[in-house]
Amino acid sequence: MISIPILVTTLVYTGIGLVIFIGGFWLWDKISPVDMWGEICREKNVALAIFTGSIAISVAMIIAAAIHG
């Protein structure tokens, strides 16, 4: 059985990780020289979509490693 303090701690770390992930991804979107979502949605740029997905996975792995210790 999972205790309440462990559950609360897990939820807090999850929330912190999501906030950092969204902030990092937003920052990447702002410093990139093109409108990423416009290129992916309107222009159907598959290469940019794959690259953006790899950036998202990389940022998530770094955050997970930092939280895990």
Could you read off the pLDDT of 5-51 as tens digits, one per residue? Answer: 988 988 898 899 889 889 988 898 889 898 888 899 999 999 999 99
Residue 56, pLDDT score: 87
> Is residue 54 predicted with pLDDT exceeding 90?
yes
**pLDDT bucket at 69, cuts 50 / 70 / 90:** low
Backbone phi, psi, residue 46, to 5°: -70, -40
Alpha-carbon distances, residue 42 vs 36, 45, 58 (angstroms): 10, 8, 25
Split at pLDDT 50, 70, 90, the class of 62 is confident
